Amino acid sequence: MKVFIDPPNSLILFDLVERFGHEPLGTMAPIQERIDKTEVDMPPMNVSLDDVVKGLKYAGVEVPSGIRGRLALWGPLIEAADAALIMEDPPFNFGCVGCERSNEMAKYLIRRRGIPALTVRYPDDKEEAVMTVGRIKEFLEGLK
């Protein structure tokens, strides 16, 4: 199954989803796809004006461009996802895309789709970390 991860660029969540036999949907793939487009010269990530305009599907024109640009990357992934795995309150070196409003909107879009979703809190210590991974494992193994 396709599992959207949030934060969408978390390598740890990406790895966990893959280990337990699913296809992780993260921000790396759409960014890679854009970077590979040599005809678009919009470094660093080749997020183009077209992308930001496509972001209007998820948020109105009064919403800052940076949010619409981010949603243009994640929105299609959330739409394609069969399930989602959300880590709440992670430190930003766990995975982060910089904008809290965008993060909130991504979580809302997941909830609005009504797909199976597991929300876990970032663990404070090793013991909690083991329990958290256990919950994630159980959730992912339970997906059919």
Partner 1 sequence: MIKIAQLSCGSEYSSVQYEIEKAARSVGAKMVYPDVSYADVNNAVKRFGFNPRSPQLKLMIARAVQLADEKYDADAVFISTCFRCAEAALVRNELRRFIQDNTRLPVVTYSFTERLKAAQLLTRMEALVTIVSRKDLLARERQTGLTVGIDSGSSTTKALIMENNKIIGKDWTPSGDVVQTATTVLENALKEAGVEFKQIEAMGVTGYGRFTLGKHFNAKLVQEELTVNSKGAVWLADRQRGEATILDIGGMDNKAITVRDGVPDNFTMGGICAGASGRFLEMTSKRLKIEIDELGKLADKGNWRNAKMNSYCSVFGIQDLVTTLSEGKTFEDVAAAACHSVAEQVYEQQLQEIDIRRPVIQVGGTSLISGLVTAVGEVIGEKPIVPPNSQYIGAVGGALLSSGFL
Report how far residue 57's alpha carbon sits from residue 72's, in angstroms, rounded to the nearest whole number: 8
Residues that bind partner 1 (CB under 8 A): 41-45, 47-49, 51-53, 62-70, 73, 92-93, 96-101
| 67 touches 105 (CB < 8 A) | yes
CB of 4 to partner 1, least distance (A): 18
Show the tokens assigned to 144: 């059919």
Q: Which is nearer to partner 1, 2 or 34 (CB)?
A: 34
Minimum separation from the CB atom of position 99 to partner 1 (A): 5
**Rounded CA separation 6/130 (Å):** 19
CB of 75: closest distance to partner 1 in angstroms? 13
Closest approach of partner 1 to the CB of residue 108, in Å:
15
Whichever of 42 and 115 has its CB closer to partner 1, that residue is 42
- Distance from the Cα of residue 125 to its chain's centroid: 24
Cβ distance to partner 1 smaller for residue 11 or 63: 63
Q: How far apart are CA 4 and CA 109, in angstroms?
A: 11
